Structure 1
Amino acid sequence: MANKSLFSSIKSKFTRTNTVNEAGGRAYQFTPKHALAQMAATGSFNGVFYASAQNQLDELRKLIEQVDDNVFLAKLAVYARERAYMKDMPAALLVMLSKRDTELMHRVFDRVVDNGRVMRTLFQMIRSGQFGRTSLSSSLQRAFQRWLNEASVGKLLSASIGNDPSLRDVLRMARPTPQDNARRALFGWLTAKETAKWAPATEADLPALVQGLIAYRQADSAKAQASILHDLSVRWDLLADAAKGPAVWKAIARQMGPQALRMNLNTLLRHEVLNDREMVDYVAGRLADADDIRRSRQFPYQFLAAYLNAAAEVPHKIKTALHQAAEIACGNVPELPGPVVIGLDTSGSMSCPVTGNRGRGGTTKMRCVDVAALFAAAILRRNPDSVVIPFDTRAYDVRIDPSDSILSLSERLAKYGGGGTDCSIPLRTANTKHSKRKFAGCVLVSDNESWVGTGRYGSTGVLTEWRTFVDNQKRLGVADPKLVCIDIQPYNSTQAPEHDDILNIGGFSDAVFNVLASYLNDDAARFVAEVESIEL
């Protein structure tokens, strides 16, 4: 008879770990495609708790070398930009794609480079030499030339905001051939060339939008500036430096889009815009405009950031509008097929800025735990019979009202914990404290860097507790409970390996909710499959 201990059938349920994560704990390695998708949906080339910016870049290049599928790279670049709403990672993928398949690069270029910020980021990455070249290849040059010639005047003016690199740098290296005198004059003005060098174009050929901007900057009074702004529609950043007082700033505020308003509430307060009740009503209305919120693709957590950063003097009506906006931004969070256990990681590593450390003045105040708490609050709001379990190396008992506002819920949940990480805690708590309750599954929102505790037969604690959870739920009559691990940091391992009843997905955009819902509703959608579903 064979050794029953060695060949026990129960061991097949407990997959042995095959790597060690950044925190030093046992873990499961993602496949190269999954790891690359995880990084593309969460990485920002800034230092995070367990990885430096250089570590992320090195890991990205290594993973791309392992993924011998150019179509997947192209689709991932589009997914990262259009669904995960990232900026740096899509640009990096596009640079790598330009070296492997120029035809595919051209097909997705305009979908990835959809604004001047991404265009300048792409240029910066190329010029840095980190991807093997320091100048534009002929193929990339054609792509840049096409973008620069086809971009609207407004888009080019927006692209001119910022330096290192500047739009002037891009134009000088890309060397686009102007299609007409209007574009020739515009390129000359953007690169600060002497007017004589624009020939055959002249100042009269400058687009009306540029002429209006020049007139605004040269106006000698606030009244003249405000009058010009009635017929001038450009980004507020192009107007701010020359603004001559509160009246002009009020006109600028009316030019701002909802995202600019949200990000500059304290600026408007400082320039006395919010001393005017009519302007307060206007700003509040724009912030909570449902169509604007959906169209501008703002993350729910960005409203929390605005709320937390708003000065005490910002009017209450505007803060209330931020609450309303967050509710709208979470509006497409789906109702799940049943209540779930929501494990919210509040450990020390979750205190890291969600987009990494960008240096003084550039680092977001939004921490991973704030984003995770907002995810948990949003899921709970649409699925009020669910149970939220904040954890580090212990579970925290919380009493919350699901009908409370999203921002209030998330702010309260983010205050727990701060210690080590044991991602099995929520499942263990569900298996003991809530063992008589039926759940459709469990959702873990974490950076997946568990290092406290281990599981049976060489597995992780999460997998061990998950198998107990499944057995218990099936006894209660739940046919097919599922585990979803939402990872909001760019690491390449997990605490629960992919399986029919286990899904790993990375990111912090609304796309995560859609994958979560389809999976719990028995759709076979997976993270990599979601990327591969992108049509080119």
Structure 2
Amino acid sequence: MSKFNKPSTRPATFSPVKSESVASGRTFEGAPGHARDARSELFLLAVSNMVGEDTFYEGKTERDQRFRDLVHRLAVQDGEWLARFLPWLRREADMRSAPIVAALEAVKARRDAGVEGLGRRLVDSVLQRPDEPGEALAYWTSRYGRSIPKPVKRGVADAVVRLYSERSLLKYDTDSRGWRFGDVIDLVHPTPDPALPWQGELFKHALDRRHRRDEQIPHALGVLAARAELMALPVERRRAVLADPERLRAAGMTWESLAGWLQGPMDAAAWKAVLGSMGYMARLRNLRNFDEAGISDKVAAHIAAGLADPAQVARSRQFPFRFLAAHRAASSLRWAYPLERALAHSLAGVPALGGRTLVLIDRSPSMWTQKFSAHSTMPWADAAAVFGTAIALRAEQADLVQFGIRNTRVKFRGGESLLKILDRFGRLDGTDIPSAVKRHFRGHDRVVIVTDEQTRPGWLPSNGAGYGGGPEMRINDLIPRDVPLYMWNFGGYEHGASPSGEENRHTFGGLTDAAFRMIPLLEAGRDAEWPF
């Protein structure tokens, strides 16, 4: 009888996040914990790490130190991998603080180890917004003092040439920053781009502005001159300028600066005047303000069309959960359908899976307590529900389950509003993934679990009655080896709840839909590589 040559035999597949096959540790809640290799642990941590933020199971000090230790190790042992990872982390994964810290710590580690090269390229690659050169220097000097190595200076200088402009100076060079544009220029001495004849004048003006030298704005800097002209207008004459939106745009007037300049309310006329200068994120975050100001239905329809436009959604690179946050903050139902469409576009990478899929979504206290940053109101639990529900809605057949210690099915219909389904989720106590798998797995073709992986072990009932007391359950043993398990990791903690990387056990991470694209590859018998 054939042992291997069977119709059901599939080719082995491998995914990049790899862990040990036999658990050597424990999760924070006591289940068997699988340690990952350094690249895998750093990847999962970096795509969820806001730096300097406490999490439910890790304080910011220990979490940041673990992050630095991993970066230091890989910077020396596998610098080229890190040089591919960090630009992707900043651009495609859209993380800000983590790639900046990682690039600077990589320079420190390589310098201490006497390893040459990569530093300048690493630093330049992660600085993508005009305030980030100052962020990088503030981090370095606050941690390592004012002696700044050449790779950091040169990488920052390269970024300054790319990023500094008249409009960025007006938006980001403010007294609220410790490192002003002039301070950065003073320290790194960027060489102006010969293709930008105005840039030398801009650098000089930034220095004059920082040192409070009363110099006339150079003729080449037309945006700054236009802003100075507006600032010179008496307050009582400023509201009349709202009738000329082009004049506001030419002066680099953002909605934030307009509010202060008017020294009066941001009414419907003010919002309408500055709307053309507002980016996608600014519009998304001001829907309640638009309603409270009483903007007309015609203007609202224009805004809504932009919000729902797939090309604009893609360019905005908003995390999917941002649309849920905007929906909850908006005071009018006129935004509901555009936000539903925008959310769907932001989840375009979620595949339509054939067969039967079991989707388990973690609603435990650790997922509720943890927010994405100190300024965010969105818990991991709700973001996890967005991703898990999207998988369920697009699957041919799906069972959608929320779990903590107890677990319940979330009912939905095909084609139903994702935002409406999210209202059916609740808060649950504890975390027990094995019990949820045992109760709900019924010969499904795959299992998708969206969680921070910090589960309790799960226990079989003792003598057939009650919860616990019997043998410990392990997730890996509850799902047949020929059934794929896809663990979507939200926490980036050290130990995972199941093996990963091979044998139908795979772990993904990140706050966008991009990694979902790995599922069809793996199920087609192809290996999934790093997304960069």
TM bin, normalised by shorter chain, reads 0.7 to 0.9
Residue 274 of structure 2 corresponds to which residue in structure 1?
252
Aligned residue type for 1:500: E
Instruction: Give TM-score scaled by structure 2 length.
Output: 0.83
Aligned-partner residue type, residue 263 of structure 1:
R
| Partner AA of 1:369 in structure 2 | A
Aligned counterparts of 1:119 and 1:133: Cα–Cα separation in 2? 16
Asked if the contact 1:389–1:396 (Cα under 8 Å) also holds between the matched residues in 2, the reply is yes
Q: Structure 2 matches for 1:11-22, cutoff 5 A?
A: 16-22=22-28
Shift of residue 421 of structure 1?
A: 0.7
- Residues 64 and 230 (structure 1), Cα distance of their counterparts in 2 relative to 1, 3 Å cut: closer
Which of 295, 307, 310 is the equivalent residue of 2:315? 295
CA-to-aligned-CA distance 1:97-145 (integer Å, 9 cap, x gap): 323266323334443211124434323321221xx45443222112222
The structure-2 alpha-carbon separation of the partners of 1:24 and 1:426, relative to structure 1 and needing over 3 Å to count, comes to closer
Q: Distance in 1 between matches of 2:428 and 2:186?
A: 50
- Paired residue secondary structure (1:389): strand
> Given the alignment, which residue of 299, 316, 332 partners 1:279?
299
Please state if 1:160 is matched with 2:173: yes
Is the counterpart of residue 95 in structure 1 residue 104 in structure 2? yes
Cα separation, 2, equivalents of 1:234 and 1:136? 35
Are 2:251 and 1:262 equivalent residues in the alignment? no
Matched-pair identity in %: 21
The residue number in structure 1 matching 2:530 is: 530
How well do the aligned residues superpose, as a CA RMSD in angstroms?
Answer: 2.8
Give distance in 2, aligned partners of 1:485 and 1:121.
34
The structural deviation recorded for 1:389 is: 1.3
Q: Distance in 2 between matches of 1:120 and 1:339?
A: 50
- Distance change >3 Å, CA 123–CA 460, structure 1 → 2: farther
Find the aligned partners of 1:421 and 1:300 in 2 and give their Cα distance. 25
> Which position in structure 2 is the counterpart of 1:26?
32
CA distance in 1, matches of 2:422, 2:186: 47
How far apart are 1:178 and its partner, in Å?
4.8
Q: Deviations over 1:228-266 (max 9, x none)?
A: 125455543343321355323321123111111111223
CA separation in 2, counterparts of 1:83 and 1:94?
Answer: 16
Q: 1:516 aligns to what?
A: 519
CA offsets 1:378-427 (integer angstroms, 9 cap, x no match) = 111211411111111122132212321122222323x2x42111111332
Say yes or no: does 1:210 pair with 2:224: yes
Q: Are the aligned partners of 1:95 and 1:122 in contact in 2 as well (CA < 8 Å)?
A: yes
8 Å CA contact retained: 1:420, 1:452: no
Distance 1:103 1:394 in 2: 53
**Partners of 1:148 and 1:197 in 2: how far apart?**
24
Distance 1:506 1:458 in 2: 31
Q: Deviations over 1:416-460 (max 9, x none)?
A: x421111113321234xx34xxx33111100000024269x9986
Alignment of 1:123-142 (within 5 A): 123-129=137-143, 132-142=144-154
Q: Aligned pair in 2 of structure 1 residues 193, 390: CA closer, same or farther (>3 Å)?
A: closer
Letter in 2 for 1:448: E
Please tell me whether residue 306 in structure 1 is matched to residue 326 in structure 2: yes
SS in 1 for 2:47: helix
What is the rounded CA distance, in whole Å, between the counterparts of 1:184 and 1:257 in structure 2?
28
State the SS of the aligned residue for 2:424: helix
3-state SS in 1 of match to 2:102: helix
SS at match of 1:445: strand
Q: Does 1:171 pair with 2:185?
A: yes
Distance 1:44 1:330, change over 3 A: same
Question: In the alignment, what sits opposite 1:486?
Answer: 488
Residue 461 (structure 1) shift:
1.9
1:89/1:195 CA distance change after superposition, 3 Å: closer
Deviation sequence 1:480-503 (CA, Å, 0-9, x none): 421111111121211111232100
- 1:388 has 2:400 as partner: yes
Which stretch shifts more, 39-48 or 458-467? 458-467
Please say which of residues 439-448 and 57-66 is displaced more in the overlay.
Answer: 57-66
Distance 1:354 1:297 in 2: 19
- In the alignment, what sits opposite 1:474? none
Distance in 1, Cα, partners of 2:149 & 2:214: 27
5 Å-filtered alignment, 1:466-477, equals 466-467=479-480, 470=481
Q: What amino acid sits opposite 2:364 in the alignment?
A: S
Q: 1-side partners of 2:116 and 2:289: how far apart?
A: 44
Q: Does 1:182 align with 2:191?
A: no
Moved more, 209-218 or 31-40: 209-218
The TM-score with structure 1 as length reference comes to: 0.82
* Residues 146-196 of structure 1 deviation map (CA, whole Å, 9 limit, x = unaligned): 222233523444443652444444334334355687334423444524686
SS in 2 for 1:97: helix
Q: Which amino acid aligns with 1:508?
A: L
| Unmatched runs of 5 consecutive residues or more in structure 2 | 1-19, 461-469
2:483 and 2:297 mapped to 1: Cα distance?
52
In the alignment, structure 1 residue 447 sits paired with structure 2 residue 469: no
The C-alpha deviation readout for 1:20-64, integer Å capped at 9, x for no partner, is 223343311111111111111111121111112111111012222
In structure 2, the partner of 1:229 is 248
Q: 1:345 aligns with which of 357, 362, 379?
A: 362
Corresponding residue SS for 2:408: coil
User: Given the superposition, is the C-alpha separation of residues 524 and 128 from structure 1 closer, same or farther in structure 2, using an over 3 Å criterion?
Assistant: same
Match among 343, 364, 371 for residue 326 of structure 1: 343
Q: Which residue of 52, 55, 62 corresponds with 2:59?
A: 52
- Choose from 380, 405, 419 the match for 2:429: 419
- Kept after mapping to 2: 8 A contact 1:460/1:495: no
Q: Which amino acid aligns with 1:277?
A: D
Counterparts of 1:406 and 1:95, CA distance in 2:
40
